[in-house]
A and B are shown apart, each in its own frame.
Chain A
């Protein structure tokens, strides 16, 4: 299984809602990532988890809260978002760097619209 899955595919939420994005992989990867991508721009790194511990937080606002319950799952909890947070949210996984021939595997993304 060389797939990263993400749910939901689309999400529309109001600024007062609380929602969660989910990501799952079964490749045995111990590094997982959240990226944000605006239209016609490259993905921007948000968070990195390595061995289920948060290793990088790219100064992301606290209205985005990541969680890694186990080595296969990654969540992104959303609360009090702003319309400018509307974007494609991509999850990715890889072997931990320098432990192997890493390549990054991406999920299909969640298209988020904040009204």
Chain B
């Protein structure tokens, strides 16, 4: 059974810092990995999608990397801003035929202090 873990569970940083969020998964047979942002009580906003054949994706101040063989992904946020405060979730889509099932990580709650 796929298990997805995110470290740290919570993070508080001053504005302007560069930071890294970590995601690890136990089964490397994935189809893709997606990073989401969730504001309190709201839905999920897709940030970046990395296919299993890709190593990284970039969007603005965000960069996500994928090392499928080691079961790891990182989300790098450059020059953090208070508006980045949210919960960040990674999720993997299985590569096996059984799967429309997205498995979510446990999430990282980020607070960026002005």
Q: Which B residues are in CB contact (< 8 Å) with A4?
A: 43
Q: A-B pairs with CB below 8 Å: how many? A: 59
Q: Is B89 an interface residue (CB 8 A)?
A: yes
Q: Is the CB of B31 within 8 A of A45?
A: no
The answer to whether residues A104 and B102 also contact, given A42-B107, A109-B42, A109-B43 and a CB cut-off of 8 A, is: yes
Min CB distance, A36 to chain B, in Å? 12
- Of B36, B44, B100, B107, the residue contacting A48 (CB under 8 A) is B100
- Of A6, A50, A88, A103, the residue contacting B34 (CB under 8 A) is A103
**Most central of B51, B100, B101, B106 by chain A CB within 10 Å:** B100
Interface size on A, residues (CB 8 A): 28
Interface size on B, residues (CB 8 A): 23
Min CB distance, B31 to chain A, in Å? 6
Q: How far is the CA of A84 from the CA of B62 in the complex (A)?
A: 37
| 10 closest Cβ pairs, A-B complex | A42-B104, A106-B44, A108-B43, A103-B49, A106-B43, A48-B100, A109-B43, A107-B43, A103-B46, A97-B100
Known: A42-B105, A88-B41, A97-B99. 19 other contacts (CB 8 A): A6-B43, A33-B100, A33-B102, A42-B106, A48-B101, A55-B100, A56-B101, A90-B44, A98-B31, A101-B49, A102-B32, A104-B46, A105-B46, A106-B43, A106-B45, A106-B46, A107-B43, A108-B42, A108-B43
